């Protein structure tokens, strides 16, 4: 150990402060032998896979078990909790064909039919799809050899044709499925079905119940709307599938994930990991975002002191104009609710505000993505919360 101490003192790339700390000496040895241009191990904003994926083994195995049965699943959680990443990891683990549809981008029942058929044609060679001949309305299919894209259109088109097209397309999905390779249909932001076209939920439910070789996963970020869709007896999708609510990643699991990665670049990895989770409350997206910024601050900006707070300050500054625009577009009641949440107070418990007013405000803020409800209501974005504290509350 003494020999290594002398080596680290002579190594200009190893911080001298490590020499007097036995724990840091071990880190310094690793630090000196690593590639200094280490890749940032944190990812956010897109589907997270492989080494970027944080452990959710219980949820992952449950989804796999449901998909191995003949049942369907409704997965509910606030936005950016990692629903899509989790589901995609599950279907890839199962090695099953899948079609994923973002319902926020669907404009009509016809558009939904087109998107599903385009996905089927990408999954299966067109030469094997002789069943297209059974379509009551034959689609026009065009391909672009430059990017392998496929476009589908149905002509002539009318409202009566609309139902037949959706029936034929979903029947096609069922026919290309096999018992061992059942196609999984994933509907992201499924609560949007109520806004696409009147009666589409009833029509889709009626068709899907007849397809015996398809599993469906319905993802939703609006808990009240998803609960209404699957638990209201008047809803066409009443009890159509099992309901699973995705919670925060357990703190101990997230801590291990962070600590393992930060230990490669700093001897303070445990403290840093705890600080990050205290700020983000284990929210998957914002934890990865803050961890990314902290890693960058340590590795490239060479910030050594109070690095988590400095990284938060950088993120707040980056989004300052966005946060200001959000705030300007809010009404007075919603601003007041956010100010209370930013102080750790529950708007529903304030004597000077009616319960109905607070409830309506929180419901609106949740729907628009400013607040989330887990065990209690809280501001979804911890950096927006910090912005409110610094720019609004500090000036009062």
Q: What is the pLDDT of residue 8?
A: 34
Q: What is the DSSP-derived secondary structure letter of residue 353?
A: S
The values of phi and psi at residue 242, to 5°, are: -70, 145
- Evaluate the CA torsion angle 183, 184, 186, 187 in order and state its sign: positive
Query: Of the candidates 153, 154, 152, which has an alpha carbon nearest to the alpha carbon of residue 137?
Result: 154
pLDDT at 68: 93
Strands (E), the chain: 73-76, 98-102, 140-144, 149-153, 183-188, 214-220, 242-245, 371-373, 377-379
User: Where are the domains positioned within the chain?
Assistant: 1-33, 56-245, 320-395
Radius of gyration of the chain (CA): 26
Are the beta carbons of 171 and 156 closer than 8 angstroms?
no
Kindly give the interhelix angle for 382-391 and 307-318, rounded to the nearest 10 degrees.
80
Respond yes or no on whether the N-terminal peptide bond of residue 156 is cis (omega within 30° of 0).
yes
Give residues with Cβ within 8 angstroms of 306, minimum separation 6.
none
Query: What does the block give as tokens for 133?
Result: 């001949």
Angle between helices 109-123 and 159-176 (to 10 degrees): 30
Distances (CA, A) of 119 to 101, 150, 172, 373: 9, 8, 11, 34
Provide long-range contacts, Cβ within 8 A and 24+ apart, for 304-313. Answer: 307/272, 308/272, 308/275, 308/276, 308/279, 312/279, 312/382, 312/383, 312/386
3-state secondary structure at position 163 = helix
CATH classification number, 56-245, choose in 3.20.19.10, 3.40.50.2300, 3.40.50.1970, 3.40.50.300: 3.40.50.300
**CA–CA dist 27, 300 (Å, integer):** 18
> What are the backbone dihedrals phi and psi of residue 379, each rounded to the nearest 5 degrees, phi first?
-70, 130
**Nearest Cα residue to 63 out of 242, 214, 223, 230:** 242
pLDDT of residue 130: 67
- The neighbouring-strand residues paired with 151 are 142
Query: Both ends of the chain: CA-CA distance in Å?
Result: 57
Architecture of domain 320-395: Orthogonal Bundle (1.10)
pTM given for the model: 0.73
Residue 112 Cα distances to 109, 139, 281, 290, angstroms: 5, 14, 37, 37
Return d(Cα 205, Cα 195) in angstroms, integer.
Answer: 16
Beta bridge partners of 143: 150
Show pLDDT as tens, one digit a residue, over the chain (396 residues): 333 332 333 333 444 344 444 444 444 444 444 444 578 888 876 655 555 455 678 889 999 999 999 999 999 988 878 888 899 989 999 999 999 999 999 999 989 999 999 899 888 876 556 667 778 887 777 777 666 777 777 775 556 677 888 999 999 999 888 878 899 999 999 999 999 999 999 999 999 999 999 999 999 988 888 999 999 999 999 999 999 998 878 888 899 999 999 999 999 999 999 999 999 998 989 999 999 999 999 998 998 899 999 999 999 999 999 999 999 999 999 999 999 999 999 998 888 888 899 999 999 999 888 998 877 899 999 999 999 999 999 876
Question: In this structure, what token pair is assigned to residue 117?
Answer: 């058929």
């Amino acid at each position: 150990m003494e020999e290594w101490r002398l080596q680290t003192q002579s190594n200009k790339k190893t911080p001298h402060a490590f020499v007097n700390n036995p724990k840091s000496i071990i880190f310094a040895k690793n630090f000196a032998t690593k590639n200094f241009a280490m890749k940032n191990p944190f990812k956010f904003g897109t589907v997270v896979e492989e080494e970027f994926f944080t452990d959710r083994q219980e949820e992952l195995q449950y989804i796999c078990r449901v998909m191995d049965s003949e049942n369907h699943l409704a997965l509910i959680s606030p936005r950016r909790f990692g629903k899509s990443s989790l589901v995609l990891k599950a279907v890839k683990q199962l090695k099953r064909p899948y079609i994923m549809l973002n319902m926020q981008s669907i404009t009509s029942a016809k558009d939904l039919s087109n998107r599903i058929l385009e996905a089927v044609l990408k999954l299966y060679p067109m030469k094997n799809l002789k069943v297209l001949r059974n379509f009551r309305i034959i689609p026009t299919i065009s391909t672009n050899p430059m990017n392998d894209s496929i476009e589908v259109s149905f002509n002539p088109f009318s409202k009566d044709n609309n139902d037949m097209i959706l029936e034929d397309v979903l029947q096609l999905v069922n026919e290309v499925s096999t018992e061992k390779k059942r196609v999984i249909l994933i509907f992201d932001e499924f609560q949007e079905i109520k806004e696409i076209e009147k009666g589409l939920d009833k029509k889709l439910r009626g068709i899907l119940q007849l397809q015996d070789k398809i599993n469906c996963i319905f993802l939703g970020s609006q808990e009240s709307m998803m609960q209404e869709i699957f638990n209201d007896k008047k809803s066409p999708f009443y009890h159509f599938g099992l309901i699973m609510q995705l919670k925060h990643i357990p703190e101990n699991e997230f801590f291990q994930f962070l600590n393992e990665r930060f230990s490669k670049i700093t001897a303070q990895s445990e403290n840093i990991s705890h600080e990050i989770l205290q700020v983000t409350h284990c929210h998957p997206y914002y934890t990865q975002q803050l961890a990314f910024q902290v890693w960058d601050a340590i590795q490239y900006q060479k910030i050594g002191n109070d690095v988590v707070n400095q990284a938060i300050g950088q993120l707040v500054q980056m989004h300052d104009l966005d946060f200001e625009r959000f705030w300007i577009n809010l009404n007075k009641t919603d601003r007041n609710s956010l100010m209370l949440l930013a102080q750790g107070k529950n708007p529903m418990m304030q004597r000077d505000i009616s319960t109905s007013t607070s409830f309506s405000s929180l419901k609106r803020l949740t729907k628009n993505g400013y607040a989330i409800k887990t065990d209690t209501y809280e501001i979804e974005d911890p950096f927006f919360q910090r912005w409110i504290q610094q720019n609004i509350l500090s000036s009062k």
